[in-house]
Amino acid sequence: MSMEKDTLQQTQTLDEMLIGQYRQYKELISENDTPHLRQIRENAFQVFEKEGFPHSGTEMWRHTDVDALTEDDYVHELKAPVVTENIEDIFQCDVHDFDTETISMLNGWYTSKTGDLKTMPDGVVVGSISAAMKAYPELFEKHYGKITGSESNGFVQINTAMMQDGVFIWVPDGVKVTKTLQIIKIINRKEQLFVQSRNLIILGKNSELSLMHCDDSVDHQASLVNTVTEFFVDENAHLELYKLQNLNDNSALINSTFIKQMANSTIKTNTLTFNCGLIRNSIHVKLDGQGAHADVLGLYLMDKEQHIDNQIRIDHNVPNCTSNELFKGILDDEASGVFNGYIYVARDAQQTNAYQNNNNIMLKSTATINTMPFLEIYADDVKCSHGATVGQLDQEAMFYIRSRGISADNARMLLLYAFAADIINEISIEPLRQRIDDMVKKRLRGELSVCEKCVLHCGTPDKEYHFDIDLSQI
Amino acid sequence: MLLNIKDLTVAINGKEIIKGLNLQVNKGEVHAIMGPNGSGKSTLAAAITGRDGYEVTKGEIWYKGQNIVGLEADERANMGIFLSFQYPVEIPGVSMTNFMRTALNAQREYRGQPNIPAGEFLKLMEEKKKMVDIHAKLTKRSVNEGFSGGEKKKNEIFQMALLEPTLAILDETDSGLDIDALRTVAKGVNELRSSENGFVVITHYQRLLEYIVPDYVHVLSDGKIVKSGTKNLALDLEEKGYEWLKEEAAV
Ligand SMILES: Nc1ncnc2c1ncn2[C@@H]1O[C@H](COP(=O)(O)OP(=O)(O)OP(=O)(O)O)[C@@H](O)[C@H]1O
Ligand SMILES: [Mg+2]
């Protein structure tokens, strides 16, 4: 393989650069592929070549300024850089009393001192997706690229075509993982990077997994991160997924999560967005087995000129499934938000229960939110409901609280915090709940930006609160 | 003098609601304010407690020797002014316990006192809960959320008992209370009565005043106090309504 540089500096738009890179370095990119995977790549590439990235005219992307992103200059690495620094030196997670098994990714590349793929004592396989492709071809054949589905957009296509690394987790049948797994993705480079990562997570029958997925940046350098994650949740398996997003104001994160659920499985996802220039979280849950249940929750706290776009789609493909969506947001300054909740109920999916709710508090009149429920129902025996609220802080409540002696700032905090608590209280890992609780308080007080390193890393001394909300009492 | 309102004019959205009102409350006194619906009783209460949007266009409100017009609502509360709301507000997600601890600590901080230790606070709460006979579970719930009408009113008095204000304004605390609750609330108020504090009790009914015996009764009509008297005035009003006052005023 002859290559003068590991990286290419683009001179064209991002899609042109990527198409050029793919043509030139196809061999390098697909060096670990089985023929099956190579075909998936090739198909995705052809679609991408034809359609490119979504743009401002694409209906589903109308409210998110994707043009500015894809017209910018990026460096896209095709080889894992030699990591000289110790990842623990630039980034540390210190959730007290919270013992996790950590998987670190630096600039999209798997980093581990203990090898690329390991089997833990309980039988769970964790490691780099590129290593897993070779080791578990039959699992890849069965699941990889299948869960994303056909309607995927240019970001998913280019990820499928050019992905080189990411996380692979396989929880075999019957294994209940007691220790939470934590994926920490850090961006740390001098150049403006385009980073792709691809994850495949498989939960076997009757298995259990709780997973944290943290996206962080350690400095103020701009980047565009394009992540695609596929989850396969087999019969009677239970998944808890916490996504923590705390990147700098110059970063953009395009996150596409696909979850396929089989009979009697349950999932609970909680997407907590604290900071980022632009985020698009697309979560697509496919309820493909009877008795499956999905809780899809989220909280976003945006300010300055940040943009958050949550696209949630739940497909009730079979009867007797239930889903519950709740997203809550607080938008300040010129921040903008989009919530698109799409519930699809197939013709035979009787006895479906699907709830959807999106509540927003706008702290300034300059903040905007676009919230759009969308129900497509072909069965007749279903219970579906949706609701959306957009409002300011309740002034009646503000006066009531202040009339007891509590300052305007603290009254505001109390109300915002109470608003967010619905989501925080759904975190079932207690030390994590406490930590997030703390972060929300900090974020609401505008103190989080000083420790942008991580959602969970709090190197800054705790500032004193004028009040202490003890959630156990709420 | 505890409260001295001089020639007060209050406007909401530019519309004058209180139109040149005078009221003096000394320490140790209970003043009842009665008057027809829409006469401005709640507006007066909001103006004294500093609600945003209630613009004092003329006059002064002196409290403990300071004109408090222009002070923030929370500062007035910290100075010892309390309002029992006619319509208490529900605050989902904030527990009563936390709300009251936060409030009490804010007031203590204002007075230069340290935060109240958790154990002491719980003891204090238990004591005051007994005093107004509110259900133990209510303090575990979110502030007023799903409380019955009567429970909300009792909860106001519970808060008052905890915060021990110097000037308490009770805005129709009696409406919605059953007979027993009315007695308990009155008992609570009477226990708090001292030579150091004062009460302004807004009510439509003479019955409350049998339990909380006022030193003075005022009638508010169209933004002004049109008649003041002793507790007997309330009896007259009960019997005759407000019409005769209007006739009297017209003469
Ligand atoms: N926000 C507002 N905007 C405009 N008018 C208002 C507002 N609040 C109160 N008012 C008006 O001011 C007047 C006095 O209202 P207020 O609530 O003070 O009466 P009240 O004496 O307490 O009556 P009630 O006995 O029914 O409680 C009423 O005519 C009311 O409609
Ligand atoms: Mg009133």
Residue of B nearest to A417 (CA): B93
* Terminal-residue alpha carbon distance, chain B: 33
A407–B106 C-beta distance less than 8 A: yes
Q: Is residue A311 part of a domain?
A: no
B86-109: average pLDDT: 94
Q: Which of B51, B89, B92 sits opposite A418 (nearest CB)?
A: B92
Taking Cα atoms as reference points, which of A242, A279, A300, A296 lies closest to residue A443? A300
Of A284-288, A428-432, B34-38, B62-66, where does mean pLDDT reach its minimum? A428-432
Of A118-122, A429-433, B37-41, B52-56, where does mean pLDDT reach its minimum? A429-433
Chain B residues in contact with A395 (beta carbon < 8 A): 52
> Which atom of ligand 1 approaches the CA of B44 most closely?
18
Domains of chain B: 3-250 (3.40.50.300)
* 3 state SS for A183-214: EEEEECCCCCEEEEEEEEEEECCCCEEEEEEE
Most confident listed range (A315-324, A425-434, A437-446): A315-324
Which of the two residues, B79 and A275, has the higher pLDDT score? B79
Residue A9, pLDDT > 60, answer: no
Residue A311, pLDDT > 90, answer: yes
- Output Rg (C-alpha) for chain B, integer angstroms: 18
CB hemisphere CA count around A238 (13 angstroms): 9
A229-239: average pLDDT: 98
The Cα of A154 is separated from the nearest Cα of chain B by a number of Å equal to: 41
- Could you report the per-residue pLDDT of B128-145, keeping only the tens digit for each? 998 888 888 888 899 999
Q: Whose CA is nearest to atom 24 of ligand 1?
A: B37
Chain B residues in contact with A407 (beta carbon < 8 A): 72, 74, 106
**Mutate which of B10, B19, B42, B237 for ligand 1 pocket (most atoms within 8 A of beta carbon):** B42
Residue B216 confidence (pLDDT): 96
**Mutate which of B9, B12, B13, B17 for ligand 1 pocket (most atoms within 8 A of beta carbon):** B17
Residue A96, pLDDT > 80, answer: no
Q: How far apart are CA A30 and CA A35, in angstroms?
A: 10
Task: Identify the band that residue A464 occupies on the pLDDT scale cut at 50, 70 and 90.
Answer: very low
Structure tokens that stand for B61 in this block = 């409100």
Q: How far apart are CA A318 and CA A262, in angstroms?
A: 10
Contacts of A193 (CB under 8 A, 6+ apart): A74, A75, A76, A77, A107, A108, A187, A221, A223, A224
Q: Is residue A430 part of a domain?
A: yes
Residue A456 confidence (pLDDT): 38
The Cα of A375 is separated from the nearest Cα of chain B by a number of Å equal to: 29
Q: How far apart are CA A28 and CA A43, in angstroms?
A: 17
Chain A residues in contact with B83 (beta carbon < 8 A): 403
Most confident listed range (A81-85, A217-221, A273-277): A273-277
DSSP, collapsed to helix, strand or coil, labels residue A127 as strand
Q: Is residue A442 part of a domain?
A: yes
Of A109-118, A287-296, A328-337, A343-352, where does mean pLDDT reach its minimum? A109-118
Taking Cα atoms as reference points, which of A155, A62, A164, A89 lies closest to residue A459? A89
Residue A471 confidence (pLDDT): 30
- Could you report the per-residue pLDDT of B166-191, keeping only the tens digit for each? 999 999 999 989 999 999 999 989 99
DSSP, collapsed to helix, strand or coil, labels residue A411 as helix
Residue of B nearest to A410 (CA): B102
- Could you report the per-residue pLDDT of A40-88, keeping only the tens digit for each? 999 999 999 999 999 988 888 888 988 888 888 899 999 887 766 666 6
Residue A1 confidence (pLDDT): 38
Q: Is residue A61 part of a domain?
A: no
Interface of A with B (CB under 8 A): 394-397, 399-408, 410-411, 414-415, 417-419, 421-422, 466-470, 473-474
Residue B26, pLDDT > 50, answer: yes
A383-392: average pLDDT: 93
Q: How far apart are CA A286 and CA A129, in angstroms?
A: 23
Residue A447 confidence (pLDDT): 65
A470-474: average pLDDT: 31
Contacts of B15 (CB under 8 A, 6+ apart): none
Q: Is residue A460 part of a domain?
A: yes
A399-426: average pLDDT: 93
A276-302: average pLDDT: 96
- Centre of ligand 1 to C-alpha A357, Å, is 35
- Could you report the per-residue pLDDT of A137-168, keeping only the tens digit for each? 999 999 999 998 766 799 999 999 999 999 99
On whether the CB atoms of residues A314 and A354 are closer than 8 A, the answer is yes
% of chain B with per-residue pLDDT over 90: 80
Please name every residue paired with A39 in a beta bridge, in sequence order, or none if there are none: none
Task: Identify the band that residue A206 occupies on the pLDDT scale cut at 50, 70 and 90.
Answer: very high
- Centre of ligand 1 to C-alpha B76, Å, is 22
Task: Identify the band that residue A93 occupies on the pLDDT scale cut at 50, 70 and 90.
Answer: low
Across chain A, how many H-helices and E-strands are there? 10, 22
Residue A455, pLDDT > 70, answer: no
Q: How many residues does chain B have?
A: 251
Residue A468 confidence (pLDDT): 34
Which of the two residues, A80 and B148, has the higher pLDDT score? B148
Q: Model ipTM?
A: 0.97
Pocket of ligand 1 (CB under 6 A): B 12-13, 15, 17, 35, 37-43, 86
Scan for tokens 């002196």, then name that residue.
B62
Residue B220, pLDDT > 50, answer: yes
- Centre of ligand 1 to C-alpha B181, Å, is 27
- Centre of ligand 1 to C-alpha B241, Å, is 20
Q: Which of A397, A404, A467 sits opposite B77 (nearest CB)?
A: A404
Which of the two residues, A362 and A98, has the higher pLDDT score? A362
Q: Whose CA is nearest to atom 9 of ligand 1?
A: B43
Of all ligands present, the nearest one to the C-alpha of B221 is: 1
Instruction: Give the DSSP H/E element, type plus range, for residue A267.
Output: strand A266-275
- What is the identity of the amino acid at B136? A
Most confident listed range (A169-173, A217-221, B92-96): A169-173
Instruction: Give the DSSP H/E element, type plus range, for residue A138.
Output: helix A137-143
B91–A408 C-beta distance less than 8 A: no
B105–A414 C-beta distance less than 8 A: no
**Number of domains within chain A:** 1
Scan for tokens 């393989």, then name that residue.
A1
Q: How far apart are CA B147 and CA A61, in angstroms?
A: 44
Residue A463, pLDDT > 60, answer: no
Q: Which of B89, B93, B109 sits opposite A418 (nearest CB)?
A: B93
Chain A residues in contact with B85 (beta carbon < 8 A): 400, 403
* 3 state SS for chain B: CCEEEEEEEEEECCEEEEEEEEEEECCCCEEEEECCCCCCHHHHHHHHHCCCCEEEEEEEEEECCEECCCCCHHHHHHCCEEEECCCCCCEEEEEHHHHHHHHHHHHHHHCCCCCCCHHHHHHHHHHHHHHHCCCHHHHHCEECCCCCHHHHHHHHHHHHHHHCCCEEEEECCCCCCCHHHHHHHHHHHHHHCCCCCEEEEECCCHHHHHHCCCCEEEEEECCEEEEEECHHHHHHHHHHCCHHHHHHHHC
For residue A451, the enclosing domain spans: 395-474
Q: What angle, 0 to 180 degrees and rounded to 10, lies between the N-to-C axes of helices B149-163 and B179-192?
A: 10
Q: Is residue A409 part of a domain?
A: yes
A232-254: average pLDDT: 93
Q: Is residue A88 part of a domain?
A: no
Please name every residue paired with A370 in a beta bridge, in sequence order, or none if there are none: A338
Residue A458, pLDDT > 90, answer: no
B74–A407 C-beta distance less than 8 A: yes
Q: Chain A to chain B, count of Cβ pairs less than 8 Å apart?
A: 97
Residue A133, pLDDT > 50, answer: yes
Q: Is residue A473 part of a domain?
A: yes
> Which atom of ligand 1 approaches the CA of B86 most closely?
27
